[in-house]
Structure 1
Amino acid sequence: MDKITRVGIAGTGLIGKGIALEVGKQSELSLAKVLTRRDITTMNDYPFPERLTNSVEDFIGNCDLVVECSGDVIYGTEVIDQAIKASLPVITMNAELQVTTGSYFAKRGFITEAEGDQPGCLASLHENVVEMGFKPLVYGNIKGFLKLDPILEDMEYFSKRNGVRLDMTISFTDGTKVQVEQALVANGLGAGIAVDGLLAPSSNDLNETGAELAEEAKQLGYPISEFVLAPKAPPGVFITAEHDSRQKDALRYFKMGEGPYYTILQNFHLCHLEVVKTIKRVINGGGVLLNNGENPSVGVAAIAKRTLQPGEEIEKGIGSFQVRGEAVKMTSNQNHVPIGLLVNAVMKRTVEEGQIITFDDVELPESLALTAWLETIEKLPINS
């Protein structure tokens, strides 16, 4: 390639910093600007301080392509809106944003999730297995542990040990993150979910569990997006699929088992280290890897972890001790509040532990993200 693509990164956390380091190594890419809300004068540990800016206008005006990885739905939506208006392609490492406002942007410009996190890795694996003739039935995410209502002391310990924000640590632990990821996979790959909250079977054998989930998908009549609890399995993704029965003997020889369901495992996901692959895909005309689609069928509802009282404020729903997220079918949960919108929200009514928060239960501040969600659900086929 003769042209050097100017890459802008929105976000300076673990993921944003890691992407910047990798972009800086590429001969056909240049790290143009890095957008942050932090005080730049205090960021002495950032590897490219001369690229930092607090100005969205400065950021957008000096980039050919934007990577959004702020981890913030409300703020990230504002940044992407400016990028789309400037006709810039947008790559996200922000599944929470995708399932909340990604469909709004999919109708307006180019937006794709990156490889690295499980949704992008599943999308890449999907392309690979389909090219080999497989017909996917299960898009599987592997999770090693789950605690629906973790305690502060434990979360502070793991946050400090892993160098990851407290809210992100909570979201990983209480299942919100994996529910978000699998909702995005379902919407982006034309799949569905078996039940609200997902089946989430425990597994000591991915081939066996994959086959059980594939049988569930066959009975439902559509592919499903799922996750398994498998503490001894690698931190990767898998697809369980069917194949042409005439290939059965060959697949047995290839150590894929007897069929009729075959599980293809990718035993890793390397987060920011894989994002450059998606950047190169986009600039070389490879198109969208994965986004939330224009007409999503799965949302991520906020479920009360305890009884919430009128007047109680939810500063940020994702990664809180008040709510967690669950993937739900939009057809039967049209009034649910996406957990990504619960920012500086105030409860209007009592919501008991385990109940879904609806728009009747809470007052939300005005935001582009809220506008985007309301437009998305208004234009869904179920509401037309």
Structure 2
Amino acid sequence: MSKKIGVIGSGFIAEGLAKLLHDSPKYTLTKVLTRTDTKERTDYFMPEYLTNDLEELIESSDLIVESSGDTIYAADTINRIFEAGIPVVTMNAEFQATVGSYFVDKGLLTEAEGDQPGVLAMLHEEVTTMGFKPLVYGNIKGFLNHTPTLEDMTYWGNRSGISLDMVTSFTDGTKVQIEQTLVANGLGATIAQDDLLGPAYDDTLTGGIELAKKAKEIGAPISDYLISPTLKPGVFIAAEINDNQHAALRYYKMGEGPYYVLERPYHLCHFEILRTIDRVLNGGGVLLNNSENPTISTTTITKRDLKAGESIKKGIGSFDVRGIAVKIKEHPNHVPIGLMFNATLKRDVPAGTELTFDDVELPDSLALEAWKSIKEKALKS
């Protein structure tokens, strides 16, 4: 009997997954939870799957995939799903890197393969099984502009078929900072500096080795990225291995060492979520989460001068703020950008400033309470 899979989200990635599940002989697509008006979603491939009722989704599903990209909403829905005892697979690094740690002991929660964090976790399993010791968990970023214009982002969003806030968060670097926050916490790494290093290299070998040298200086694995307009949008791990394997790796054309770069030159988002669904339902457990004791967060930096009384509807993908990775202990009062929903400025804040809880007022939410719990634990550790 096929397993019943529900989906939360009806955007680009979530709809792509729903189509795969609909066509799969192994799984049955049950319902797709959306916050949009189901009667007006004539654009959706099969509108009859859409529902606004979380309970209907829960009652019909053996496993649920959350892909809303919304921290506040995901916290509320996943909390209720765990009360019902159902496992959750996410493609929502925004949720995971902000408050995912609060939920790791409340049910089976794992990030999926497909986006860079999940693919790095899969590659981590592969290379450590072979005896490599990771020094760098690397993402690849093709382009970066901290303050893109609305005109440019509207053009690229329409051209790519993705939402304005999503394309903006890709362009201003928020997305890669969030992803590498999750990778650092989930795979036991740290960061080399606030905002990451992000050096420009057009080959992963040279760039990966340079980052590996930095990790050795620090004395711990690091989570970071390379900027290159020519590299494929994949991931890589720079690692070392015992000296007695260097000759074999030279024979296998992996270079002279002592650092080696193993890469996965693609990630296919919703296509790969099926592998993580298989993993969970076959008893494979968690691929990647934000860990119970995170040390890294993604803080909020202003892109422009903000005035007291201004409201920011959503921080991630906005033209008001962007996110950068930081160490929690070094930024104890920062506001994670994943919590920046319907935020009101308490006072004037100039461009380029990190927002703290003294600067903004946030509505009450489970996600906010979860962050307070995470922060208190992190600062005591």
TM-score band w.r.t. shorter chain? over 0.9
| RMSD value, Cα | 1.0
> Which residue number in structure 1 is paired with residue 256 of structure 2?
258
Please state how far the C-alpha of 1:282 moved relative to its aligned partner: 0.4
Please state how far the C-alpha of 1:287 moved relative to its aligned partner: 0.7
Please state how far the C-alpha of 1:4 moved relative to its aligned partner: 2.0
Q: 1:76, 1:236 → 2: CA distance?
A: 26
1:28-67 correspondence runs (5 A): 28-67=26-65
> Which residue number in structure 2 is paired with residue 162 of structure 1?
160
CA deviations 1:66-109 (Å, max 9, x no partner) are 10001111111111111111111110000001011101111211
> Which residue number in structure 1 is paired with residue 337 of structure 2?
339
1:237-276 correspondence runs (5 A): 237-276=235-274
> Which residue number in structure 2 is paired with residue 89 of structure 1?
87
Which sits farther off after the overlay, 146-155 or 71-80? 71-80
Please state how far the C-alpha of 1:313 moved relative to its aligned partner: 0.7
1:159-308 correspondence runs (5 A): 159-308=157-306
Q: 2:332, 2:4 → 1: CA distance?
A: 40
Q: 1:127 aligns with which of 125, 128, 141?
A: 125
Structure 1, unpaired ranges of 5+: none
CA deviations 1:295-321 (Å, max 9, x no partner) are 110000000111111111111100011
Establish whether residue 118 from structure 1 lines up as the match of residue 116 from structure 2: yes
> Which residue number in structure 2 is paired with residue 383 of structure 1?
380
- Deviation beyond 4 Å, 4+ runs, structure 1: none
| Paired letter, 2:323 | G
Please state how far the C-alpha of 1:29 moved relative to its aligned partner: 1.1
CA deviations 1:222-253 (Å, max 9, x no partner) are 10000110111111000000011111111011
Structure 2, unpaired ranges of 5+: none
Please state how far the C-alpha of 1:132 moved relative to its aligned partner: 0.9
CA deviations 1:10-54 (Å, max 9, x no partner) are 001110110011112322211011101111111223223222211
| Paired letter, 2:102 | Y
**What's the % identity of the aligned pairs?**
56
| Paired letter, 1:374 | K
Q: 1:106 aligns with which of 104, 107, 113?
A: 104
Q: 1:107, 1:310 → 2: CA distance?
A: 39
CA deviations 1:194-231 (Å, max 9, x no partner) are 10100010002321111111111111111000011011
| Paired letter, 2:16 | G
Establish whether residue 26 from structure 1 lines up as the match of residue 24 from structure 2: yes
Q: 1:236, 1:212 → 2: CA distance?
A: 18
- Count of residue pairs the alignment pairs up: 381
SS at match of 1:315: strand
Q: 2:283, 2:127 → 1: CA distance?
A: 21
TM-score (norm 2): 0.98
TM-score (norm 1): 0.98
Q: 1:352, 1:33 → 2: CA distance?
A: 45
